[in-house]
Structure 1
């Protein structure tokens, strides 16, 4: 099945003429990884020159990349393990219950299927020893089927600077090669193969195994940030087997040469890609941090809430007085709806005091630097005044731009806005907008841009906004205030 890997070496059953020679370069075991890299793709020389096999773990790789002067081991760890216990020179030999020779020749003498069976048994034993929680996959929308291979494109992750990997997406592009699980191996254990990125759509990537050429029949979508996606060379570094898909094994007699050819000059993920993914999933907000957030029952005021969960930069908030956690909602950590403790008092915003007398163990106020910053504004010159009219998006109906009134001017450029004709008598539905918000506009904005303006409920349909505001004392907001 893997004869192609060893086209440049002798038959796997052949042995060396000298059992004790450290300079011997063994033939390449068919089931072992064929690439040894430190972030680069090596060009393999012809024949056996330049190759070596680790006497401890059996990994095959470039001789010059091996450890020690004799190049007998792939790493310091293997060298020390061999020295401390020579009886454990070969992991596969131990699994098969056979005492390895000094040079661990059992790796080369065992038939292919025996080696694969031993590897599978080793994985099974490891899984039995380490009990982990069963991960239940979440069934959701199938982006791959929705986007397909047609002209529909997903927005690149790099367009979203506020999401994980949003600032590190330049490492991804069509044509990049990765190592992924081979789901078409026909083997009982988990093995890997090289795949190329055919198309990117957000975090999703359409991949094609190397060897399928123009055949898209086995293309598959996956999330490029999952733990099973690795840069080329990861299998060699970790001793994982590279196995071509079963359905194309007949197409090539020398898969090693095939991979060398297709990977020469190709790009792959940076070595630290998985580290970048993990780091991007670390967020400054933590559970039990206290914040001020808009009261969803009275938009005109804020109240204290606790962070209960942080997922993907989104916060699950529970109002402090809620003991069972049922009064919760989600928002992004950069949302303008949340603020640091003391924000309301600082700008003059209405605030509902908590009935909780003291903080519980573990509760801390979220530091002010964690919150999104607003643009500094100069309120000394021409500025908003109470009663001024303007056009604003209704926070309870985001598709509507309505006639509105500045009900109260707060500090730091914040305004309390009321929607004309639908305000509650006590002002409980006033909403706080910053003067730089893209949700407020000067009078006449909708007319200039041919956008429907929702008039006050008591206003007649044939009247104009300019007439309505000229009858009474209030004046319209000028364009300069909305800059």
Structure 2
């Protein structure tokens, strides 16, 4: 999502620089008014040193009794005056002390009517929001329910999920087998979550939990260990209305689509990678699936083939195309043996009727567990700039007008979801939160849902160091530390040559983030930290040494420009020098082999002799007794009670292959050593089974 940058909008509350300029005496201290920007002596200001007049204070919500001006700048008296102000001023009615000020300033129920009247805002009408954004009841999901769903970070993946938390109409979903930092928020009426067995019924590939083989995963065996089933009646995709929708696109159809993950800067050659209901998965030809996204038929980001040429826009050719400068749809369609998406499949884009100064409630995308008071600050044909009331405009967000995270005024109260109120100037002046970011209150963490709070700027979602940083949460499916490819120039086809500036290109060279080409022609995102590791065209990892000039050489002698004699190639001194050089200048290249990858069959039977007599092809059809017999050959002693546990838990051959190490220790009450032996035996058998398929 694009983050708006620039100067704050006129009239918004902005934290001003109130550093004093002392010229010898305390009375010479200068302050700046937070509203009008007037600079004057601090002794002339009210609400000490913040507003030049009562009218400016009133405009920022500091109403009620007139606030007395400070009469002295001496530290002791000034502090005493502030304490008196908090006791006798407009806060006195709250009956709280200074330590509980932040808690008292956060109301249990936000008063929308008063707020909109004071800020001169108009509530956005309900009809401006998609119907699913208005739902406030009917969420019967509970924590612990199992379901299937789409990974929002890898949209082509269907995953095994568990409901981790319920807030009103919202759900926090957890990827089974992975860290909580990858959890994500969605809605109970989302059409991207599905009941158990939906993927199998629709012919989709379900990604098994970590530690399980996808081709051998079954819900029946998996549910024996933990979890409950979410009923079909809770899912939108099971409703008669959704089932009546018939796909108008086919997988493989070609179209032109906006790259929404690069700030809507590029329009690229794309294909339909998947469909269900009235949704399609857009995939950019030649790029990895991290840039894919799901959309409806009336999405403003998808266009029929030839739209760019008709509208004098720039079309980005597929990555790896042999001659991008002369790209034409006719030759590309013939080359790929594909068809164009039908014109009639694209539904008309619904024009939004949002206007600036309309109030609404929106999910804070930087801290998605929270919903905040917000307003529309700017609009375009299809997008809105959302401003969180009371926050600096640098935290504004650009979103599509049909964004599912936009809700009308009062949605949180009706659905039972907590609403984060607007920050008032008085709260900012008296802020005493654990995090230095004013208004943050230490809620949320850049490391994901695993941490619900923070107390330092390093963990704050709103700090300058984290605002524009990528990769704060590691990729759930990534097994390498570095992004291998290096940047390459963007290849585009420009149709604006017909009428000069009339078709000005959308793209700006050098701004594209998804650059480079890797194995199989799939391009990967290049990060600033990954310029030394590189991938050759055949995918082999290699190292490049960045050599500087002689004066930049860390080993050069600053006093004498004399180099030591080079050691004889192949000698012990040469090997030692090369080893030292590599340890200093080359980063540690990660081992490609996974830690949980089993050893070969020949090696494993030496470490686990009991495996040599195992007919691995028959293991999936074993009975509980045969599973117990195998465990008895792997570990000793194997008690009768443990054999009985296997029978009680109905761990047959198929269930045995789905066990992970934690299951073995918790269910069979085994210590870590024996559990490791059994788990490695499972990995070896599963690998042997894959080789025979």
Bin the TM-score by the shorter chain.
Answer: 0.3 to 0.5
Structure-1-length-normalised TM-score: 0.37
The higher-RCO structure (CA 8 Å, 6+ apart) is: 2
Structure-2-length-normalised TM-score: 0.27
Q: Determine which structure has the larger helix proportion and give its number.
A: 2
* Structure with max Cα Rg: 1
Q: Determine which structure has the larger strand proportion and give its number.
A: 1
